[in-house]
């Protein structure tokens, strides 16, 4: 099957992580961050990685984005060995990293400028994405004129601008207050339902992971390895009321029990 034929209509890519280990060497010291991690992420699925601080979640994301090379094992995107930076990806970090001297719209359109794409089409797409996350009317504002949640929504629009086949998000809502976080979770769920790209979300928040994902991958303390994978067979897109569903609580409780057994909670 060709790469294109292997993808669902949304155009997400599959990610295959096979026996990956990662050891950092710094000033003579070795840190084993990941050990023997194998994970297949289906094209168009939403997968969350949950694990204690320092267990290698960000490392795993950087490896999957091709920004780091693994010490052992291999990664494949749509079956193709990942040997360089994975350019068809959007990344959202914990802080928005918007450029303060550019307007919100110019920040969102920046990836198209870097990739030398049609700026008129990109600007149209940027405006549409901003409208989708409730930022219509703020296109000309500068990042300093927006709240943290608004800036992070703009950062998500920037990551989605070029219709990447994978969206990586590393604790994207970590710095936000609880109410803004809930709003952002709803935004992400709706955007994912519309775009159907592959999403890899890193979070510390068990309920957030279960709320948004098709699958939750739970990692052990460092050196990180996969303890268990939980399928979340709840209807998508997820309505806020799903938080009251006994099946939702069942999965959350099972994950908590696993963390307790692993000495994390
Ligand atoms: N560039 C680096 N050089 C050396 N060691 C690193 C580097 N990046 C991460 N580490 C180490 O690797 C381990 C895993 O780090 P990583 O940032 O992947 O964890 P994490 O699960 O994302 O943690 P957190 O939840 O706190 O963000 C940590 O012990 C960290 O100190
Ligand atoms: Mg991290």
Q: What is the per-residue pLDDT for 94?
A: 87
Ligand 1 nearest-atom number relative to CA 171:
27
Q: Kindly state if the Cβ of 61 falls inside 6 Å of ligand 1.
A: no
* Residue nearest ligand 1's atom 3 by CA: 24
Choose one of 115, 147, 163: the last residue of a domain. 163
Q: What is the mean pLDDT of residues 177-186?
A: 88
Angstrom distance (rounded) from CA 106 to CA 195: 22
* Residue nearest ligand 1's atom 18 by CA: 56
Q: What is the mean pLDDT of residues 54-79?
A: 96
Counting ligand 1 atoms within 8 A of each CB, the residue from 56, 68, 221, 223 with the most, and so the one to mutate, is: 56
At 21, the pLDDT band (50, 70, 90 cuts) reads very high
Q: Are 247 and 204 within one domain?
A: yes
Q: Are 46 and 124 within one domain?
A: no
Q: Are 198 and 253 within one domain?
A: yes
Beta-bridge mates of residue 37: 20
Q: Kindly state if the Cβ of 62 falls inside 6 Å of ligand 1.
A: no
pLDDT reading at 89 higher than 50: yes
Higher-confidence residue of 118 and 263: namely 118
- Nearest ligand, CA of residue 53? 1
* Residue nearest ligand 1's atom 8 by CA: 59
* Residue nearest ligand 1's atom 2 by CA: 24
User: For residue 173, which of 162, 186, 164 has the smallest C-alpha distance?
Assistant: 186
pLDDT reading at 2 higher than 80: no
Ligand 1 nearest-atom number relative to CA 202:
22
User: For residue 203, which of 166, 170, 251 has the smallest C-alpha distance?
Assistant: 170
Is residue 118 situated within a structural domain?
yes
At 3, the pLDDT band (50, 70, 90 cuts) reads very low
Q: Are 242 and 171 within one domain?
A: yes
Q: Are 51 and 180 within one domain?
A: yes
Is residue 93 situated within a structural domain?
no
Q: Percent of the chain at pLDDT above 90?
A: 81
pLDDT in tens, 29-57: 999 999 999 999 999 999 999 999 999 99
Average pLDDT over all residues of the chain:
92
Lowest mean pLDDT across 5-9, 30-34, 92-96, 156-160? 5-9
Which domain covers residue 109, as residue numbers? 102-163
Q: Are 191 and 257 within one domain?
A: yes
CA 33 to ligand 1 center in whole angstroms: 7
Q: Are 171 and 255 within one domain?
A: yes
* Residue nearest ligand 1's atom 23 by CA: 54
Q: Are 25 and 143 within one domain?
A: no
How far does CA 118 lie from the centroid of its chain? 26
Q: Kindly state if the Cβ of 82 falls inside 6 Å of ligand 1.
A: no
Q: Are 159 and 170 within one domain?
A: no
DSSP per-residue codes, 109-172: HHHHHHTT--HHHHHHHHHHHHHHTT-TT-TTS-GGGS-HHHHHHHHHHHHHTT--SEEEEEST
Angstrom distance (rounded) from CA 48 to CA 217: 6
Is residue 200 situated within a structural domain?
yes
Ligand 1 nearest-atom number relative to CA 25:
4
Q: Are 233 and 158 within one domain?
A: no
Q: What is the per-residue pLDDT for 147?
A: 93
Q: What is the per-residue pLDDT for 7?
A: 43
User: For residue 16, which of 198, 188, 159, 160 has the smallest C-alpha distance?
Assistant: 198
- Nearest ligand, CA of residue 51? 1
The total number of structural domains in the chain stands at 2
- Nearest ligand, CA of residue 67? 1
Q: Kindly state if the Cβ of 195 falls inside 6 Å of ligand 1.
A: no
Q: Percent of the chain at pLDDT above 70?
A: 96
CATH label of the domain that carries residue 248: 3.40.50.300
pLDDT in tens, 205-240: 999 999 999 999 999 999 999 999 999 999 989 988
């Amino acid at each position: 099957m060709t790469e294109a034929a292997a993808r669902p209509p949304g155009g997400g890519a599959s990610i295959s992580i096979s026996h990956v280990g990662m050891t950092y060497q710094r000033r003579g010291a070795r840190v084993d961050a990941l050990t023997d991690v194998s994970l297949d992420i289906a094209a168009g699925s939403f997968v969350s990685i949950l694990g204690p601080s320092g267990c290698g979640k960000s490392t795993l994301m950087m490896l999957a984005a091709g920004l780091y090379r693994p010490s052992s094992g291999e990664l494949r995107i749509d079956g193709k060995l990942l040997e360089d930076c994975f350019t068809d990806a959007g990344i959202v970090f914990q802080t928005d990293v918007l450029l303060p001297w550019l307007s919100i719209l110019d920040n969102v359109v920046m990836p198209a400028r870097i990739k030398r794409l049609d700026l008129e089409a990109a600007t149209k797409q940027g405006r549409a994405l901003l409208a989708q996350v409730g930022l219509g009317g703020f296109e000309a504002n500068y990042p300093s004129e927006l709240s943290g949640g608004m800036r992070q929504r703009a950062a998500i629009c920037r990551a989605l601008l070029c219709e990447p086949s994978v969206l990586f998000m590393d604790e994207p809502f970590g710095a936000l207050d609880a109410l803004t976080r809930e709003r952002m979770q709803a935004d992400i769920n709706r955007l994912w339902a519309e775009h159907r790209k592959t999403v890899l979300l890193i979070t510390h928040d068990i309920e957030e992971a279960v709320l948004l994902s098709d699958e939750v991958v739970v990692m052990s303390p460092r050196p990180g390895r996969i303890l268990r994978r939980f399928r979340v067979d709840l209807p998508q897109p997820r309505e806020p009321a799903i938080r009251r569903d006994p099946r939702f609580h069942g999965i959350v409780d099972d994950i908590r029990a696993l963390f307790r057994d692993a000495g994390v909670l």
